[in-house]
């Protein structure tokens, strides 16, 4: 199908979240982040094609066919960066590898959703320019403007397991490490609360506390995804691939002196550096499956990045996608992200299935923008899933032989401090 550029117009550069407060549509998607950390923001509305998949073993092939079918490369910048927006659940990894399937669902949503929009608004955060883009298709349905409720309510906050139970799971992983079964496992747990009111108001409050560079607000019937993820999964443009796994976390200090001490402690932590180096090596191997021989390189083994409530160590790996492979082939080779599974990946995923109570569902999957020639995707962490009058938030961390169980528990609380604070406010 031919995509025709109906119109492209430069408009005033207004903060995406502020603009959306007045211009928020049903069945729409926002990908955004702090303008100092994110190259661009994008908002799509007026869905032309919407697909969702559940328990479909052909899901990867179907998504590949959809993304390959429509070519944006002939469009001018930034229309050539528009495309399908959606998410892929962590559990889609079961269609790629043989993983036990024993955990129960705490909520039910499609395993994957992918949407192509007629209208986009694109913010270039580097040049401080903004465009509205309309694409011509043979058929589309007009979206309705949401009624933006000003309030939301949270109550009955609960968590999957208490500190003692979580520490027992950490020690169980360490037993597996001592036996040579795994080297590192990303252990998580789920928090939940009753929710009523406006998901958009909740996202705006959350984003105001910590605008993660890969933040996203996805609005579907009966489902809202409110993400302030700090972690890039994969980007690809003109076949150049980049991934930036996060491993190693320290809380921000109460003052400048404590802040600096926490930063220096993280940068010198043998445990955290070892965690990151293992995952960087895992992702280097993942990219090597689909990238040109000799093109995969570690650009930075351990870069410190600063966020509102934590410091993180980040690795940077690049490569060049083979000419005969596609964006979906790239995602499949690295899915789910090694930073949120462990090492070796498949063995770690089996331990995750054993020790975690609920299926991860969308958590630690990916939110993405993609067309044939462009991909920007995040790891779904620091993310609230609002469905069936409930809010679900997971948090986790890497467990190694050097992990202190009590410290691991405190780390998962630091990572979702913004969610916990909002729950306490209400």
pLDDT digits over 150-201, tens only? 578 888 989 999 999 999 999 999 999 999 999 999 999 999 999 999 999 9
153, 426 Cβ separation under 8 angstroms = yes
Encode pLDDT of 210-246 as tens digits: 888 999 999 998 999 999 999 999 999 999 999 999 9
pLDDT at 147: 47
247 a catalytic residue: yes
Predicted pLDDT of residue 207: 92
Which pLDDT score is estimated for 26?
81
4-147+159-425 is classed CATH 1.10.260.40: no
What is the per-residue pLDDT across 296-311, written as a single tens digit (0 to 9) for each?
A: 999 999 999 888 778 8
Cα–Cα nearest to 50, from 138, 134, 112, 135: 112
Residue 426 has pLDDT above 80, yes or no: no
* CA-based nearest residue to 274, from 298, 297, 302: 302
First to last CA, the chain: 49
List of E strands, 258-325: 297-306, 310-320
339 neighbors 172 (Cβ within 8 angstroms)? no
Whole-prediction pTM value? 0.94
285, 395 Cβ separation under 8 angstroms: no
* Radius of gyration (C-alpha) of the chain in whole angstroms: 21
Written as six digits, the tokens of 105 are 């669902």
Q: Which of 111, 184, 231, 356 is catalytic?
A: 231
Q: Give the best-scoring range by mean pLDDT among 93-102, 235-244, 267-276.
A: 235-244
Query: pLDDT tens digit string along 389-411?
Result: 999 999 999 999 999 999 999 99
Task: Report CA dihedral (279, 284, 288, 289) to the nearest 10 degrees.
Answer: 10
Q: How far apart are CA 177 and CA 169, in angstroms?
A: 13
In 3D space, the residue among 326, 408, 306 whose CA is nearest the CA of residue 375 turns out to be 326
- Is residue 353 part of the annotated active site? The answer reads no
Taking each helix axis as running N to C, give the angle between helix 270-288 and helix 327-334, from 0 to 180 degrees, rounded to the nearest 10. 140
pLDDT reading at 139 higher than 60: no
141-177 b/e with 16+ CB inside 10 Å = b? eebeebeeeeebebeebebbbeeeebbebbebbbebb
- Given 204, 244, 247, 350, the catalytic residue: 247
The structure tokens 């220096």 sit at: 264
CA quadruple 177, 178, 180, 184: dihedral, nearest 10: 20
As a whole number of angstroms, the distance between CA 123 and CA 39 comes to: 9
Q: Which residue from 245, 322, 324 is spatially nearest to 279, judged by alpha carbons? A: 245
Instruction: Give bridge partners of residue 367 from the DSSP assignment.
Output: 87, 378
Total H helices, total E strands in the chain: 10, 20
Express each pLDDT in 188-211 by its tens digit. Answer: 999 999 999 999 999 999 998 888
Cα(250)–Cα(21) distance, rounded to whole angstroms? Answer: 33
Q: What six digits make up the tokens of 351?
A: 């331990």
Domain ranges in the chain are 4-147+159-425
Alpha-carbon distance of 372 to 374, in angstroms, equals: 6
């Amino acid at each position: 199908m031919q995509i025709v550029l109906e119109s492209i117009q430069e408009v005033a550069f207004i903060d995406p979240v502020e603009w959306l407060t007045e211009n928020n549509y049903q069945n729409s998607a926002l990908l955004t982040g702090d303008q100092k950390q994110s190259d661009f923001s994008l908002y799509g509305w007026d869905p032309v094609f919407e697909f969702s998949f559940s328990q479909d073993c052909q899901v990867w092939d179907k998504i590949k066919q959809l993304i390959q079918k429509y070519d944006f490369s002939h469009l001018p910048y930034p229309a050539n960066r528009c495309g399908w927006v959606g998410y892929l659940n962590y559990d889609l990894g079961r269609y790629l590898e043989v993983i036990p399937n024993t955990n129960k669902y705490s909520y039910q949503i499609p395993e994957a959703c992918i949407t192509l929009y007629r209208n986009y608004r694109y913010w270039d955060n580097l040049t401080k320019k903004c465009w509205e883009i309309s694409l011509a298709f043979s058929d589309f349905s007009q979206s309705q403007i949401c009624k933006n409720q000003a309030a939301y309510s949270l109550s009955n906050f609960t968590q999957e397991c208490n500190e003692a139970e979580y520490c027992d799971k950490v020690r169980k992983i360490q037993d597996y490490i001592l036996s040579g079964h795994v080297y590192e496992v990303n252990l998580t747990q789920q928090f939940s609360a009753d929710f009523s009111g406006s998901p958009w108001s909740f996202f705006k409050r959350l984003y105001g506390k910590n605008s993660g560079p890969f933040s996203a607000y996805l609005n579907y019937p009966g489902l809202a995804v409110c993400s302030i993820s700090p972690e890039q999964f994969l980007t690809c443009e003109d076949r150049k691939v980049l991934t930036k796994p996060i491993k190693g976390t320290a809380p921000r200090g109460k003052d400048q002196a404590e802040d600096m001490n926490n930063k220096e402690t993280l940068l010198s932590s043998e445990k955290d550096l070892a965690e990151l180096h293992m995952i960087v090596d895992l992702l280097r191997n993942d990219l090597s499956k689909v990238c040109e021989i000799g093109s995969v390189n570690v650009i930075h083994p351990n870069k410190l990045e600063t966020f509102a409530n934590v410091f993180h160590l980040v690795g940077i790996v690049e490569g060049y996608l083979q000419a005969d492979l596609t964006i979906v082939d790239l995602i499949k080779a690295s899915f789910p992200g090694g930073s949120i599974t462990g090492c070796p990946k498949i063995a770690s995923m089996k331990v995750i299935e054993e020790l975690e109570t609920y299926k991860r569902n969308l958590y630690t999957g990916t939110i993405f923008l993609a067309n044939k020639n462009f991909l920007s995707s995040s790891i779904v962490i620091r993310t609230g899933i609002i469905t069936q009058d409930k809010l679900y938030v997971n948090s986790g961390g890497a467990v190694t032989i050097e992990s202190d169980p009590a410290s691991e528990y405190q780390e998962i609380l630091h990572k979702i401090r913004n969610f916990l604070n909002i729950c306490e406010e209400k």
